[in-house]
Structures are given as C-alpha cells and as structure tokens.
Structure 1
Amino acid sequence: MKWKPLLLAAAALALLPSAAGAYSNPSSLPSSWHWANGDFYGEGDPYILKFNGVYYLYVSTVDDQTGVKVWSSTNLVDWTYRGLCATDPVTKGAYAPEVVYWNGQFYMYTSPAGNGHYVLSSPSPLGPFTVQTGNLGMGIDGHVFIDDDARWYFYSTGAERIDVRPMSSPVSFGAPVSAGFSMAGWTEGPTTFKRNGTYYMTYTGNHVWSTAYRVDYATGSSPTTGFVPAAGQNPVLIRTEGSNVGLGHNSMVKGPDLDSDYMVYHSHASQGNVTYPGRKMNLDRIAWNGGRMTVLGPTTAAQPNPAAPAFEDRFARTAIGSGWSNVGGGTWGIYNQELMWQDTIGTSVWHRQVTAASTEADYTAEFHAKQIKMGTSANPLYGSVFSYTDENNYGTAVLNRKLNRLETNFVVGGVSQGWQYSALPAGYDYTKWHQIRVEKRGAAFSIYVDGMKKQTRSVAGLGGGRIGYSTLDAHADFGYAAFSNDVQGSSVWNAYKPLPGTIEAVHYRKGGEGAGYHDLTAGNTGGAYRSDGVDIRSSAAEGKEVVGWNQPGEWLTYRVNVAETGLYDVTARLATTFPSVSFRIWDGATDLTGVVQAGGSGDWEKWINVAKKGLYLTAGYHELKIETVQGEFDFSSLTFERGQAPSALTDDFGDGNDNGWTRFEGSWSVAGGELAAAGSGFAKTVIGSSLWSDYSVEADIKLVGTTGDAGILTRVNNPSNGTVLANNPDYVQGYYAFIKPDGVYLGKMNYGWQQLAYAPMTIASGAWQKVKATVSGPVIRVYVGDMNAPKLTYTDNSPSAFLHGKAGLRSMQNETRFDNVKVSP
C-alpha cells in the first residue's frame, strides 16, 4: 500500500533528518540541454508545475535546438527525464516555458529566442503540446496568474518594467499596464501569487549573465498595478562570489508537505565563459512571518529534503486496502494502479471512503476528483470529506456539476451547520480533474478549488480527523489525496533553518511547554500568530510578528542546520524600555555565549542589534535555545554569520601594483606609488574577506577633480561589476564613507543608494585628505583629518544592517588618487 499513517508522538521525537534525505544546490539533472557543439547549457529559467501530486519541470531550450524538455518528480529532489513535451519548430530556443493547468488542458507560454510569445496546449503535462496561436509579441518571460475570481493575468518583461495584461481566455490578451516598479534597469522573470489577500510578485533584475542577477519582491492590493517593492528586504536572493552565482529567474512551488513554499531558480553553471556559462537549477525554502517573505538561502551546503506529508496516497496498487474504510456503501475500486473510483448512482445515500490516518487539530488537506457520470437526482455531488470522526462530526466540500458550484457543509454533534455555495467559472468541465484544498487553522476552514480561494467558514467544535472522498448519486474518479499537520506556513517552525542565516523569533520549534519553549505566564499575551503559551505580538516597526514579554527564566528552542564547522557571530534583534537586559544561547547543554548584556533601546518599537562574536558551531543539525537572563525584552530575530577579525593589512602601492585587490569597474592604474581612478564613470575595488566583522580602514585620498566623490567602502558584500551588461554604480552591499568638495558623507548601498549622514566641510581639490572609517557592531564612525574625533557617527539598527564584509575604495564621477591604505582589527 502507498499510504503513510500519521506519525505517532514517539516517532516524532527523532530530531535529525536522515543523512540520505538531503539535497544540495545546484541540482544536477539527467538529460540536461547542451549546445549542438556539446557545451553545457543546462536548466535556465526553471518552472515547476504540480498536478495531481506530481511535479513537472520545464526549462529554457538551448538557442540552437528545438523542443521543450520535461522532467517529473514526487519529492522535488529526484527527477526523471520524460522526454520532449513539445517539438513544433516555434519551440526553437524556447525561452522560459511555463505551464498552467485549467479545465482539462495544459497551456504552455513560451518566447522562442525572445521573439514574441506563443501559446501551446496539451491534455497532458508530458505533451505533446501543439501550437494554439500565432506570434503574440510581448516581452520575454511570460507568466500567468489566475485570481480567486477566475480572472487571468499575463505578466512579462516591458520597457525596464513588468507589464501586466488581463486575459479573456487562455489564449487572449488585453492591453498592457505597468505593475508599478522597476529595478532601475532591465527587469524580468515575474512570478505572481496571492497569500492572505495580498498579491506578491517576485522578479529578477540585471542581465542573466551578470553575477549580480538577483531576485526582489513586491506586494500590492491588485493583481495589475501598484506593486510596491519590499522596503529593506530586497534583494531577497543574491550571491555574486563563490561557486554559485548569478541567481535569478525564479518560480514558486508548494512542497510535498502541502504547506511549505519553495523558490526555484537558476545559477551560473560555471564562471569560465562569461558569455554563455550555462545554468543549473536551485531550490531554497521560503519562511513566512506575517506578510514578510524570507528566502532561507541561497544555500550550497546539504539541506534536508522537502518534507513529505503526514499522509499521502497515489493508489499505486490493485486494491483499496486497510488504509481506508468504507462508510455508507457504494461500489469502490482501484483503476490501473493510479486512482480510486466509486460508480454506484441512483441512490440518496452518501458513499464515503475515509482514511485510517487522522489529522491533528490544524492541518492542510488536498484532494483530486473528476466526475464520470451523474445520476438523475437534483444534486448529484462528489468531492472530499475531512475532520471526519463519524457521521455526526465532519466537514465536506463537494462539486455540483448541475449547478456549477462548490458546496460545503459541516456537521457538529449531529447538527448540520448549513450548506454554503460558491459559483465556479462558466464552462467548467466536471469530467476533468479538479483540485480541492482545505486549510484548517483553529475554527477557520478555508476551501480552495483549483487554487482559487472560494470559502472561509468558522466552525466551532470540530477538530482534526480522517479525510476521504464522498459521492452522492455520482460516479467519480479520485486521485492523489494527502494531508499535512501544518497550515499557512507553520511547517517552518520545525524545519532546520540554514546557518549562516536569519531565524525569526516566532519560528521556535513545536512541542509545547518544556520542549519548544518555557513560558512563565498563562496564555499568549499578545494573542498573535501562534496559539500556544508563548507571548507574541505584531510589531509595526518590524512589519511582522515578534515574541514579546520575555522574562528571566523563559526560553525558546530553534532547529538549525549549520553549513560548516567554525566560528560564528550572532546578532539578536531586541526592543525594551528596561535600562539593561541580558540573554544567553545554548546548544543543547553547551553554553555558547555566556551572558550577553545589552542596554535598553528606549521603546518597545525601537529595535537594536545586539551582537556576540566567536560562537563555535559544528556542521550539521542542532537545537539552539535562547534564554532570557535579566530584564524584559521583545525579541524579533537571530542572525548567524561566519565571522573573524581581520589581520592587519597595509598597501602604499609602492611596488607598482595593486595585487590582492579586486577591481570591479572603472579605469584603475598604479603609478608613482599611488592608485588612480579615472575621472569618468564609477569605479570600486575591494580587498579582504567577507567574514571580517569589526575593523577600521584608513586611506589618503586626493580629489583631483571636483565633479564627484571618492572614499572608503566597509562591510562589502556581493560586489559585482555595474557596467557588465548594465550601467549601475550601486552593484554592491555595504557602507560608503566619502568626501566631496562640500563635506563628508556616509551612505548605505544595497543594490540601491541610501544616504545616512552628512557633515559640512571644505575639501580642497588636489590636496591629500586622510580618511578613516571604523565599524564596530552597528556603529559606523567616519574621520577626516583628525583621526581622534569623528566627523560622523551613525548607528545602523535597521533589519538590513551589514555587520560583516570586505573593505574597499570607490570613486564616483571623479578623478581620484588613493595611497597608504591600512586595515586594522
């Protein structure tokens, strides 16, 4: 039998995933695309469709070949090549093929070599897909979103923006409007989805062959216009250095557990050939906190495989078996080891099959059904049953072909709670597969049909229970069925979060009092997010949920997956009106930090970053515990980064070169013992390690020209050349302390620009100025001339503060000389 009973409590005590149950990025797939000359092309622009419990992967076609390849998987990790699903000549160099299922047909949208779009269709996700339209034009990277009201929208690349077109059918497109934002340059790869009433769009910027290819996201209240980029969070996915760079063109997919979300994206397969380096697929988990989306990555170390549901059944056998129980009769069977059927009609009795396995109180369940024949009664029905205890306690969501609608009812203690009805789209074909999804959280049941949210009902007195299928005067087939004991993203609580990385305070592990947490007060004081005894509230300043009212002796436990053994620095994000608070972090019985002291932030909505350096962690799975020692504080997150103090470094360029420095753009030269940057354009060069934490950088700087500025970079992360297939001076993350003729400035660069501080000062051109920047925890100080009294002092307590990174020099639209660079711990 292909069913799995609900894990019992004793089994749930196992903390560590199996070593065999791990994957790592990037993926290696069978039958990857290659150029005709044999060079690797790989899996660019990966898109994954889930249908009836199976995942189907589609990727861009290499430019000199025809056809679209497809792979299938049941777990998002082990992929089987299924051949070409399309072979029409228009698929030569088919870019970014995406496939949507609707009403028995699969529709493919692709742009051959970037020249317009075609729509193809097939009755199977494996094809063959045949062409349904001529060339429709429109920019590359087409994506379809279907809203809860069954309206369709098509997203594609516009003129440095994302265009949105309403669709009147799967092959008909309206006029474009702007989504409302741009990445200040080429913007592509949109993916749109809806969560808790908010529309989300992920999108990619820069050129695909740049190491700075990256993913941002925006939110809005409409599927068409007014999307606003997530302030302080973008880019949500980037890596420009190392073995896996150029990350972008993502799609989103639900994990096998029905609850988790994964971002699927590609990276450069090599760095040797910058013109066509090839691409490979990557997969990283999404963590949700309120409306805030975080990518738990990018990762390259081994990660636990996406979790399976607590129960699933693909009916890959010849008999129904003991995993199901018949209620109410009917004639049930298994067809072709792929589905379950019931064919008795002409009665007024509900026929049900329910599982032996039961859900917990909160859960997500998924069902697939199609009607073969209906009886002559007024309302022949077929569909799902859930929270089933007996015929006096259950919920049901069924489809009515005659009246073209979803119908739900709940029975509690033998009393019907009343039928409710939701219209389904005109022309719905009930003889084709349709999905019913149920999300139960507390008393609320949300019902989806084919991904469209149709009802939310509050039903008191009905907990978890068995799931199953039901018919009333209908002959129906039933496909993949599954449930998970997680809902609306709760699976992340028990997931092993990758370190380095950030852990949300509210994502402590399950297990309740004494396992996931210890809380001294009764109930959830803030009443937010989770229903256990931990006090949680919404923070307006943080834009998410936080753990509040932490008192001495209380603690929270988090599961983590450490990428490599070594020293880590941890930053806790806290708010408090107490003048002094303290905490400690444990790894099992090992005290990692000792007592960490922190001063007050001054307000419960004023957040500070409190760092502790030099924690020794071993690679693998751990459970970390943060304990409140003194005072009371609210707790937002923990961020772990690899850290080290730099060794002393000096360079006067007297040897006639700048060996050890990495130039990223601009015209640099070394002459006469000085490093020179030309006057036009922008230029940066960096040195050191991304692990560096607290240090100072000083340099002699001479503004030869007066048209721009020049200065020092600190805590540099993800630097990239802003002139490769782009023209952007801000392709770096870190802080920039610089001088101009009118004064001293400090700014923050995060693939964008934010000025932080300024002090007026006369800076003469042609004269050397000694400039120093020190970074210590969140505090940045900038000195010019006088090395004892800073001209600027700024504390970056934002959630996006940079606390580690390389050092560097930068010149912006100015002829500049640098000399006597010194980095000190």
Structure 2
Amino acid sequence: MKKWKTLIISAAAAVMLMPLQVSAYSNPIAITDSWHWANNDFYGEGDPYILKFNGTYYLYVSTVDDQIGVKVWSSANLTDWTYRGLCTTEAVTKAAYAPEVVYWNGMFYMYTSPGGGGHYVLQSTSPTGPFTLATGNLGMGIDGNVYIDDDGKWYFYSTGSNTINARPMTSPTAFGAAVGTGLSMAGWTEGSTTFKRNGKYYMTYTGNHVWSTAYRVDYATSTSPTTGFAPAVSQNPVLIDTEGSNVGLGHNSMIKGPDLDSDFMVYHSHASGGNLIYPGRKMNLDRIVWNGDKMIVLGPTTASQQNPELADFEDRFNRASIGTGWSNIGGGTWGIYNQELMWQDTIGSTNTYRQVTGTSTAADYTAEFNTKQIKQGPTSNPVYGAVFSYTDENNYGAAVLNRSLNRLETNFVVGGVSQGWQYAALPSGCDYTKWHQIRVEKAGASFTVYVDGMKKQTRTISGLGGGKIGYTTTDAHADFGYTAFSNKVNGSSAWNAYKPLPGKIEAVHYMNGAEGTAYHDLTAENLGGAYRSGAVDIRSSAAEGKNVVGWNQTGEWLKYRVNVAETGYYDLDARLATTYTDASFRVWDGATDLTGIVGVQSSGDWESWTTASKKGIYLTAGYHELRFEFVKGEFDFSGMTFSRGDAVTSLLDDFNDGNDNGWTRFEGSWSVNSGELDSAGGGFGKTTIGNERWADYTVESDIKLVDSTGDAGMLVRVNNPSNGTVLVSNPDYIQGYYAFIKPDGVYLGKMNYNYTAVASSPATLAAGSWHHMKVTASGTTIKVYVNDMTTPKITYTDNSSNPFTHGKVGLRTMNNHTRFDNFRVNP
C-alpha cells in the first residue's frame, strides 16, 4: 500500500479582506445560437474573430463541418452579444473555417478556408451581410489573417508547412507570392494575428493541434511585416492551460476595448460535451497590458473578471434630435438621421461649422470619430472631420479629410495662433463617400492621428491641453457616426485595471492617482523619466527588457488593484535588484499588514535581478487594492507574482501494491513490474503526481538506466503537462525543471514547451545499476543530488524573468528503458 503523510503549514498571514464591487464577466463567455452539428451535438464558437466598425463589435466564428453559412453576433461592450443571423449562405461556406472580416473603403471582405481546403474571399456592404463570393479557391493553407500597414499596403498571413507564411497583397482580393516568416511551434502552426504597436510588428500564433490540451499562443516581434520575426522566448507561451475546466486555448484575435485604449485577446477553449471526436469550442476574452514592448496577457482566467471598461464619453446618435449635449459653433445645418448618425449639409461657403460636446477630456486622452462625405461644395478646399482639445476658436486641434487632394490635414490653434497645416497622403482610390475612422491619441504634448487604423501623423504641440471633441465641416455635406473619448492613452488603462490573482503584476502598473492616494514618492519628479509622468521614479531595464520602478526609498509605497479568484492561501514572489544588504518590503491591505516585513538580499548589481518570497498570505476572493511598501534600504522593483499555495503533502510510492494509482501517465509505455515502475524506452514519456500549488519540497527516487543511451530522471515544479504524442510528436510538452542522469553525468534542464540546458556535472553512473537521486526546490534554487546525499552535484538558481516556483512532481524518460522505485516527496 502507498504511504501518505500530510504536513499542515501554518499561514504567515490570515487576513479577511473586504472586496470591492465591480461589474464582471467570466470565461468562457456565454453565446446564444451556437453552432451545433446536424445531430445537435455542440460545436460552438471556434476560431473567434471580432471586428469593430462604427462603434459596434461583430463576432464571426468557424462554421460546423456539416453545415453552410457564417454566423455573426454584435455587441457594444464585448461581453453582451446579440445574434444577427447568417451573414452568408454561399454554398462554398460549408465548414467555413476561421472567417475574418476586414472593412476597407465601404466594403467588408471576409477571408475563410472552408473545410481547410483553401481560401475564398467574400464581400458585402454590411458587416452583417449578405456576403457574396468575390474569388474562387485561392489555396494558401488555412486561417487567413489580413494586416494593413500605415502606408496602406496589405498583407495576408496563413499556414504554410508547419509555419506562418506572409503574402503581400495588391488589392483585397489579389495575393502575391508567399514569404516565410520562419515562425513555428515545432509542429503544426496556425491562427496568426498581426498588428503594429509603437513602430514594431507583433504576431501572435497558435499550435500545435486544436484538439491537444496544449493548444497555446506564442507571440513574436519584427521590424518588418513579413520577415525577421523573433519569438518572445522568455515570455512564451503567453496563453496556455492544459488542466482544469478550460483547456486547449488558442486561435486568438486581438481587439481594442470599448474604452478605446485597452487591448483584449479573444480565443477559444475546448467545450464540455459535444461530439466525441470533436469536443466543441467556446469563446474567451482576457485583458492584455503592456510594459514597453512586452505584451502581457492577464490570463487565462475562468473566475469573474472586471468587465471591459467603457469610454468616458460616447455618442451613437440613437435619438431624434442632437439635443443639449452638443454645442453648435459657427452655424451650418445640423440634424440626426434615422437615429443612427449626425449630419451637416450646408455647402457653398468657406465658413467652418462645428458641433462640439459639452463634456471635456482630461489632459491626456484617446478619441475616435467616424465620418463620411455625402457631397462637397464648389470652393477650393472643402474638408470635413474631427475637432478635439477644443476650448474655443483660439484653442483647438483639427484633423480633416480632403477628398480633392486625397489626404489627411491637421492644424492646431494655440492662443489664437495657427501652428500650421500639415498633410499626410491617403491610399490611392480612397472613397470619401464611405465611412472612415479618425483616431486621435494625446499624450503630453504629442498628438498622434490615425485614419482607418493607419498611423498618419504625430505632432508635438505645446500649450494645448484637453478639451471638448466634435465634428467640423468646411463646404462639405457630411455624415458623422459613433464618436467617443477615453481619458486613457497608450495603454494607461492598465494602471487602474484589476489584475487577476493568481497572476503577475508589473511594478509600473500602480494605480493612477495623486501623491498620497495611488503612491507615495519622496522625489518631486520621475528621476528616470520613463513610461509615466508624476513623481514615481521609473527607468528602462535592459536586463528585464521593460520599465521598472527605481530609486525606491524607505517609506515610499505603490498601490495596485487586484482581483483575487478564490479565497485561500497565496504565495508572493517579488522581483528585485539591489546592491543593499538590508533592504525589505511589505504588502498591506488598508491598515492590515498582509506579509510582515520581508527581507531582500543583495542581487549584486542594479541590473541583476532576484526573487524575494513570502508564503502563506491569506486572501479573500474579490477586488482589492494592495499597497507595496519599501520598508528599508533601496531596491529597484520589476513586479510581483501571486501563486496559489498549498501545504506540501508527504508522499511515498514504492510500487509494491502493483500499480501506480494517483499518477497521470502522458506518453511512453509505463507499467508496474516486481514492485518497480517501468518505462519501456524507445521514445519519450512522462508521468506526474502531486499538486500544482506545491512550492518548496524535496523529491527523491531510485533510478536504474537499463539502456546506456538516452536519459531519465525527475521532474519538479511541473505545470501544464500534456501528451506530446496527440496529433504531434514532441517531447517538450511541459513546464518545469528536469533533473536527469546519463552514464556520463548529472544534468538539469528547464522545460517551457522547449528544452534549455541550465547546468550539468560529470559523473560515472553505470547503466544497469541503481542510483539514488534527490532534488530540492526552494525558492528559485534547485539542488540535485545523486548517490551522495550530502553534497549536491548541481546547484542552480533561476534568476530569469520566468522562474517556476510552484508545481507538481514527476518522472521522465528519454530514449531509455528505465526503472524507478521508492519515489518520495517531503516538505
């Protein structure tokens, strides 16, 4: 019989926090009118793609294999969806995989690969259809994605041979030769999405197979839209969960939230029930935040999460008259049409007419405008578009479209003085009688203007703050659609967002607010000058590849919003750098000390980073504001991770009962023979046991290498294990550390759906003989002992930005017939 012993660990802190109240949603998101097979088995919302047009979101998903058509839903807030019916019934859309829709110049283009048998393009004048065929079968793999660059050039991305290919496009329906991006997930790779941020191209991509629990999302960056993409190795995978209620996460798209600033990753997960061969899929939505060029997914989540925040002001003109919320400047003839748009139709004069909101923005903001021209007058310069930062006719900014000259024009007036018109060409063939979007981002003195998602201008204008927004015309009859502003810009919505726990929090994502409310800093200004304005000192860290909080002094503090998934014990890992030997911190909730004083050891250099931990913090489910205090000394602060923590349970399995009950076998050929666990060899295999919430422990086992080739050993801190032979052949489907032996020595590797050798020690370990291995995992330090239980063969401290600090235990073999016995875990 197996022998079990439970060790009860007392909590370092047991404090009842009072949660705040926040409107919330949870994954997977409930959608009505889901796809079902003809026999009524559930198919769901696979490969979800969301388009935003004129203030409304439209959702498209893959079509069940035995039916025709593409379904569409609409939403104003990303969480409440209304079914709008079939947007196409073209016969070729049977099993329409991964439909994505792009709006351009008055037309909506749908790209889909029905049954994976090659791509078709369909088109419509409405996001709800009807879409009709625009091309025949174009091939090009599956999972097409379109990106339009700032210069108006189009690119099409789809699957190649275990990679993502890019194709330049000469029109929405014409595709050039494939260019290999080089991106691969060591097997089938699909479901890419490309976008641009701060001049850098990002691509998310998915693999290896949709029915593997290890379906997951990676991302890469490049300075080119087609080549040179480099995976974000230290951060990938950015989305994965192989165990629990929501697994098989992938095929994402990206969308801006209704606050105009936040970013969300939309993806699917395996659904329960459904066809026994095809388990079905459901849609999920998780927040993305940014720190420099680093993209951080706040997920995956299944617990209740803060709803996507709305804009601070929006108007859909869904009423009969303009009303008192807008003010007319200069005259003109204005009205509301069909409770869906505002118009101005006076032409034939060089007078400028405006409508501006009664509500003003903050100093920094993002604003969105949607407009089209109906007719232009006879004067030399008819224009129409947006006005912003409007105080009066002596202080405002304007971004207008000029049909005659095919360009964007901007001007700023400060103190009655024009700052001069500047111009940016728009793509040839631009149809100004169709809807176009103007987006303005103001950060400090910088104004960035986009047209239809293309970045067209950035201007530095001093002396102009926030103000009203609105629409403007000069000798043009124009329609004006959805308009909104949000007092957030460049990802600043992350600061007040509730970060899900368990999860990571960036140090620079402290709450927005004033000194003494959101933070306490003893300097008058940001000494490092990076990322945020205000007094908190922020610098860019080359070692971390992001922004960190520096120059922290005794008594300073930062406040963070968090969303605790479930009540229980959590472990805190804080990432720090310092040359001080007596620094310390603690974490508070209001007047309650959650952690006590936690000491920080010197990391040796301000660009050498280490982890300081505190275990057994009791948190209650819900929304909270935590305060991180710099108690003593000085250290730079990169971020903190909260993990669920459970007491380690002592475990002994000598396999004398003739089975390995309690273990989860993944690959390989495992059996229990003569009181030993046997792995037949000839490939790779792993088996795991224990609790993914375990942190520090010792694990040991007797190991016999039957063959002289290959290796075998123990796994520690195991997370997200999956079978690497399900529709793929990959030995690295696991996160954790692998300590193993070969006849020539002892080795330690880090596995993160790839393998990285981190340490080794030569030794003579004869095949056919028993060897005793012990591994201790404490904090971020792993020690490996073999035969000699006093002196470790390997001592390794993982100072990387993603150390594994919690996880199960297990056994693994690689091309070796191996026998294991007397497996033991102790706290």
In 2, Cα distance between equivalents of 1:663 and 1:610: 34
8 Å CA contact retained: 2:364, 2:442: yes
Specify the alignment match of 1:641 in structure 2: 643
SS in 2 for 1:715: strand
1:67 matched residue in structure 2:
69
Alignment match of 1:723 (pick from 722, 725, 741): 725
Residues 69-90 of structure 1, C-alpha deviations (whole Å, 9 max, x = no match): 0000000000000000010000
* Separation (CA, whole Å) in 1 of partners of 2:630 and 2:775: 34
Task: Quote the Cα distance in structure 1 between the aligned partners of 2:614 and 2:523.
Answer: 28
Quote the residue 2:670 is aligned against.
Answer: 668
- CA drift of 1:166 comes to 0.2
TM-aligned CA deviation for residue 587 of structure 1: 1.2
User: Which TM-score applies when normalising by structure 1?
Assistant: 0.98
Distance 1:311 1:472 in 2: 25
Aligned to 1:745: 747
Q: Deviations over 1:218-276 (max 9, x none)?
A: 00000000100002000000000000000000000000000000000000002786631
Structure 2 match to 1:700: 702
Moved more, 176-185 or 363-372: 176-185
> Distance between the aligned counterparts of 2:347 and 2:681, measured in 1?
84
Moved more, 172-181 or 59-68: 172-181
- Which shows bigger deviation, 297-306 or 266-275? 266-275
Q: Is the 8 A contact 1:645 1:695 kept in 2?
A: no
Alignment partner of 1:537 out of 536, 539, 543: 539
Q: Distance in 2 between matches of 1:382 and 1:358?
A: 21
* Offset from partner CA, 1:496-533 (integer Å, 9 cap, x none): 11000000000000112001100001100000000111
**Structure 2 counterparts to residues 593-672 of structure 1, below 5 A:** 593-672=595-674
Distance 1:53 1:17 in 2: 32
Deviation at 1:627, TM superposition (A): 0.4
- Matching residue of 1:6: none
Q: Could you tell me which residue of structure 1 aligns to residue 141 of structure 2?
A: 139
* Conserved 8 A contact 1:502-1:638: yes
* Cα distance between partner residues in 2 of 1:274 and 1:646: 37
Per-residue CA deviations over 1:688-724 (Å, capped at 9, x if unaligned) read 1000000010000000001200000000000000000
**Given that residues 681 and 818 in structure 2 are in contact (C-alpha distance below 8 angstroms), is that contact kept between their aligned partners in structure 1?**
yes
Equivalent residue in structure 2 for 1:442, among 444, 448, 452: 444
Question: Is contact 2:20-2:622 (8 Å) kept?
Answer: no
In the alignment, which residue of structure 1 is the partner of 2:6? none
Query: Pairwise mapping of residues 510-521 of structure 1 onto structure 2 (< 5 A)?
Result: 510-521=512-523
For 1:16 and 1:529, the matched residues in 2 are separated by 32
Q: Is the 8 A contact 1:62 1:94 kept in 2?
A: yes
- The code of the aligned residue for 2:158 comes to S
Q: Corresponding residue for 1:179?
A: 181
Structure 1 residue corresponding to 2:218, chosen from 216, 219, 223? 216
Which residue among 56, 59, 73 is the counterpart of 2:58? 56
Look up the SS of the partner of 2:413 in the other structure. strand
Instruction: State the alpha-carbon separation in 1 of the partners of residues 400 and 23 from structure 2.
Output: 36
Deviation at 1:180, TM superposition (A): 2.1
Distance 1:355 1:166 in 2: 42
Match of 2:458 among 431, 456, 459: 456
Amino acid at match of 2:324: S
The corresponding residue for 1:408 is 410
Q: How does 1:781-796 map to 2 (within 5 A)?
A: 781-796=783-798
Any conservation in 2 of the 1:645–1:694 contact (CA below 8 Å)?
no
Is the partner of 1:537 in helix, strand or coil? strand
Q: Say whether the 8 Å CA contact 2:21–2:623 is kept in structure 1.
A: no
Give the % identical residues. Answer: 75
User: How far does residue 301 in structure 1 lie from its aligned partner after superposition?
Assistant: 0.3
Residues 581 and 597 in structure 1, CA contact (< 8 A), matched pair in contact too: yes
Could you tell which deviates more after superposition, 548-557 or 17-26? 17-26
Q: Report the CA distance between 1:797 and its aligned residue.
A: 1.3
Given that residues 59 and 69 in structure 1 are in contact (C-alpha distance below 8 angstroms), is that contact kept between their aligned partners in structure 2?
Answer: yes
8 Å CA contact retained: 1:266, 1:279: yes
Name the residue aligned to 1:262: 264
For 1:603, the aligned partner's letter is D
2: CA distance between counterparts of 1:84 and 1:494?
Answer: 38
The answer (yes or no) to whether the contact 1:701–1:818 under 8 Å persists in 2 is: yes
Deviations 1:416-442 (A, max 9, x none): 000001110111100000000000000
Kept after mapping to 2: 8 A contact 1:209/1:274: no
Q: Tell me, which stretches of 5 or more residues in structure 2 are unaligned?
A: 1-16
Q: CA 1:613–1:271 in 2, change beyond 3 Å: closer, same or farther?
A: farther
SS in 1 for 2:470: strand
Mapped partners of 2:276, 2:245: distance in 1 = 14
Cα distance in 1 between the residues matched to 2:20 and 2:87: 35
Partner of 1:734: 736
Write the distance in 2 (CA, Å) between the matches of 1:620 and 1:398: 46
Q: Identify the residue that residue 358 of structure 2 maps to in structure 1.
A: 356
Could you say which structure has the greater relative contact order, defined with CA pairs below 8 angstroms and 6 or more residues apart? 2
Amino acid aligned to 1:171: T
Distance 1:202 1:109 in 2: 18
Secondary structure class of the residue paired with 1:491: helix
| 1:140-166 CA distance string (max 9 Å, x none) | 000000000000000000001100000
C-alpha separation in 2, matches of 1:659 and 1:583 = 44
User: Take 1:182 and 1:304, find their aligned partners in 2: how far apart are those partners?
Assistant: 34
Answer whether contact 2:19 2:620 (CA < 8 A) is retained: no
Question: What is the aligned partner in structure 1 of residue 760 from structure 2?
Answer: 758
Once the 2 structures are TM-superposed, how far is the Cα of residue 181 of structure 1 from its aligned partner? 2.2
Larger displacement relative to structure 2 (574-583 or 537-546): 574-583
Match of 1:374 among 373, 376, 384: 376
Q: Is the 2:20–2:624 contact (alpha carbons within 8 Å) kept by the matching residues of 1?
A: no
1:29 to 28, 31, 38: 31
Amino acid in structure 2 at the alignment position of 1:499: L
Instruction: Give 2:379's aligned amino acid.
Output: S
Q: CA separation of 1:43/1:478 partners in 2, compared to 1, >3 Å: closer, same or farther?
A: same
For 2:349 and 2:68, locate their aligned partners in 1 and report how far apart those are by CA, in whole Å. Answer: 53
**8 Å Cα contact 2:401-2:408 kept in structure 1:** yes
Residue 506 of structure 2 is matched in structure 1 by 504
Change (3 A) 1:272 1:344: closer
Question: What CA distance in whole angstroms lies between the structure 1 residues aligned with 2:681 and 2:498?
Answer: 50
Give distance in 2, aligned partners of 1:251 and 1:637: 27
Match of 2:162 among 160, 163, 170: 160
State whether residues 20 and 623 of structure 2, in contact with CA within 8 Å, keep that contact through their aligned partners in structure 1.
no
Deviations 1:361-410 (A, max 9, x none): 00000000000010001110000000000000000000000110000000
In structure 2, the partner of 1:475 is 477
Q: 2:108 aligns with which of 106, 109, 122?
A: 106
CA shift in 2, pair 1:547/1:614, >3 Å:
same
Inter-partner Cα distance in structure 2 for 1:550 and 1:727: 49
Report the equivalent of 2:419: 417
**Kept in 2: contact 1:237–1:247 (CA 8 A):** yes
| C-alpha distance in structure 2 between counterparts of 1:371 and 1:749, whole Å | 57
Aligned-partner residue type, residue 140 of structure 2: M
Letter in 2 for 1:164: A
CA contact (8 A) 1:268 1:280 kept: yes
Letter in 2 for 1:403: L
In structure 1, the residue corresponding to 2:92 is in which secondary structure? helix
Give the equivalent residue in structure 1 for 2:227.
Answer: 225
State whether residues 209 and 275 of structure 1, in contact with CA within 8 Å, keep that contact through their aligned partners in structure 2: no
CA contact (8 A) 1:582 1:629 kept: yes
Alpha-carbon shift at residue 788 of structure 1 (Å): 1.4
CA shift, 1:172, in A, is 0.2
Q: Secondary structure at the match of 1:648?
A: strand
User: For 1:21 and 1:524, how far apart are their aligned partners in 2?
Assistant: 34
